[in-house]
Amino acid sequence: MNLLPDLRIVLDELTERFGARIEHAHAPQPNELYLHTKLELVGALCSAFYKKYQGRLAGVFAEDARAERDVFFVYYLYALDAAHGFVFVRVPVPSDNPELPSLTNAIHAVNWQEREIQDLFGIKLLGHPNPRRCVLHDDWPEVYPLRKDFDLHTKLPPFTGARHRFREVEGEGVFQVPVGPVHAGIIEPGHFLFSVAGEPVLYLQLRMFYVHKGIEKLFESLPIPHCVRLAESISGDSSFAHATAFCHAIERVAEVEAPPRARALRTLCLELERLYNHVADIGAICTDVAFVTAHMHAMRLKEAVLRVNELLTGNRLLRGMPCLGGVRFDFEDDQMRAAAKLVDDFEKEFKDLVELIRSHSGTRDRLETTGVLKPEVTRNLGIVGIAGRASGFDHDLRRDFPHAFYDQVRFSVPIFTEGDVQRRMVVRREELFQSLGIIRQVLEKLPAGPIQTKIEEVPSDRVALGYVEGWRGEIFHWIHTAPGNRLARCKVKDPSLQNWPALSEAILGNIIPDFPVVNKSFNLSYSGTDR
C-alpha cells in the first residue's frame, strides 16, 4: 500500500488494536485510506480517531449495494488534518433490517447527514436525538430517492401529509416570529422561526431543503463527461470549485493528473472565485448595518472581477472553464496582463475600502460581539471555512491537503478566536489579500505546456475523493464508478450543509434586527445545502 507515512502509522496502530475486526484495508491514493469493518466497531473507531489522532468526522453517507452484496454501505469520512490524510470507515447495513446506530449524541456535526441517510435510503436511525425528516419534508410520501430501484423519472402523487410542525415554546412573554420560507429578494427559500422573550432571541429553528434538486441521483443518470456541467450547477457562486472537486475525483479514479499549466490555471480561477465572493460579502455585511457607501464600493470591485472572469473564460461565474483532466481554455498574453492589472488595481482600491470601513465607528460597534460562535461550539458542530477560522479552527485544504498549484505558492491562513461578525468579516478581508498574492505568484510561475490530459473511459468499480477549499469552506465529491463510463454513486458535500446549524448558536442572546448581518456573515448556500 502506497500510503503517506503518517497514515501508515495510523493503520498499523489500528490493526494492532482491533486486529481481525478490521476486515480489509486498502489505499487507492496515498492520502486516502479505506477500512472495512462491522457496524459494532463504528463507535470505537470514532473514539480512536477523535481522541488519539485529533481527527474529525467530516462526512457520513450511504450507498445502495443490495444488487451486488445484499447490503447498504455506510461510509464515515474522517479528516486527519495533522496526518494530511482521509480515512473512510465502510460498514455494511443488512438490507432486510436497515438500521444504523446514531453517532449524533457524541458528534453533533453529523446530525443532518445521518438524517439524510434515513430520508434518502430508508435506513432507520437508532438513538438519534431528533430523527425527524430533514431532506424530505414531512408531507412527502414514503419514498427513498437514492435507492437504486427508485426511478429518477417517477412522478409522485400530490403531497397530502402533515406539514412540518416546529417545536413549540412556552412561558410568559415568550412568542415566536416566523421568517420565510419565501424571502424578499431572489434568494432561495429557508424557514427561520425565532423564539423570543422581549428582544433577545432564546431559540432559532431552521427548516431547509425546500428546493431539493436530486443532484446526487442525477449524477447516476449521466455519462461522466456530462457530469461536469451538473457539478457546476450545485451552487452558483461556487460553480468552479464544485466542478473542480468533481474533476479531481475523476482524475484520481482514472490515475490521471492534470498538466502543470492546467493546475495553475485552476488555482487562479479558484482564487478569482474567492475574490468576487469575499468582497461582495464584505459589502453586504456593511449594508446590513446601513453603511451603504461601503457596500457600493464593494459591488464596484466585485463587478471588476466578474468582468475579468468573462474576459478570461467567457463566463462571469467561470462556468465552462473546468473539464476532466484540466481546463478548457488557455489564456493569451493580453488576458494575463488583464489579470495582473486587476490584481494591482483591486489591491489599491480594496485598501481604500478597508480604511473606509475602519474609519466608521458605527459599523465596528454593530459587528463586534455580535453573533458570537464560541470555539468549543465550532468544534462540536464541525464548522468549517470562514466561520470556522473566525472561531479558532485552524484548517484550510489548500494548505493542509494541497492540490492543484497550491504547493507552489506561499500564503497564510488567518485565524481568530472571537467568533463574532467582525472576525468573520476580517477573515474574508485577510483571505482576500492572500488571494491577491496567490494570483500574482501563479502568474509569475505559470508553467508552459498543455492544459488538458485526455481521459478516456473511466475504470468501473473504483472509488475516490475529490476535494477543494471553496471560498465558503471545504467541498467534497466522493465517487464510485460504474461500467459504461458512468457513476454508481456521487456524494456531494457543500460546506453550507455543515455550517447552517451554527446560525442557531450564533444568534442566541442577540436581537432579531441583528439576524440579517449575522446570517450574512456566514452567507451559506441554500442551493448547496439542498442539492
In a domain, 528, yes or no: no
Q: Which of 80, 101, 126 is the C-terminal boundary of a domain?
A: 126
- Structural domain contains residue 205: no
Asked if the structure places residue 184 within a domain, the reply is no
Last residue of a domain, one of 126, 151, 183: 126
Please tell me the pTM assigned to this model.
0.94
pLDDT band at 1 (very low <50, low <70, confident <90, very high): low
Q: CA angle at residue 63 from 58 to 66, to 5 degrees?
A: 155
Mean pLDDT of 78-89: 92
pLDDT value of position 261:
96
Average pLDDT over all residues of the chain: 92
Tell me whether residue 197 is in a domain.
no
pLDDT for residue 285 is more than 90: yes
Residues 244 and 117 grouped into a single domain: no
Note whether 118 and 256 are same-domain residues.
no
Same domain as 246, residue 122: no
CATH code where residue 466 lies: 1.10.645.10
Banded model confidence at residue 277, pLDDT cuts 50, 70, 90: very high
Question: Quick check: is 95 in a domain?
Answer: yes
Could you give the percent of the chain with pLDDT greater than 70?
A: 100
Kindly state whether residue 218 falls inside one of the protein's structural domains.
no
Kindly state whether residue 182 falls inside one of the protein's structural domains: no
Q: What is the DSSP string of 193-236?
A: EEEEESSBEEEEEEE--TT---HHHHHTTS-GGGHHHHHHTSSG
Q: For residue 86, is it within any domain?
A: yes
Confidence of residue 148 (pLDDT cuts 50, 70, 90): very high
Question: Which of 126, 142, 163 is a domain's end point?
Answer: 126
pLDDT at residue 378 above 90?
A: yes
Q: 310 lies in which domain range?
A: 224-498
Number of domains in the chain: 2
The CATH number covering residue 58 comes to 3.30.460.80
Report which of residues 521 and 83 the model is more confident about.
Answer: 521
223-227: Cβ within 8 A, 24+ apart: 223/484, 223/485, 223/486, 224/250, 224/324, 224/458, 224/481, 224/485, 224/486, 224/487, 225/324, 225/485, 227/487, 227/490
* For residues 490-515, average pLDDT: 93
Q: Are residues 231 and 348 in the same domain?
A: yes
| Residues 233, 356 within the same domain | yes
* Residue 417 in this model has a pLDDT that exceeds 80: yes
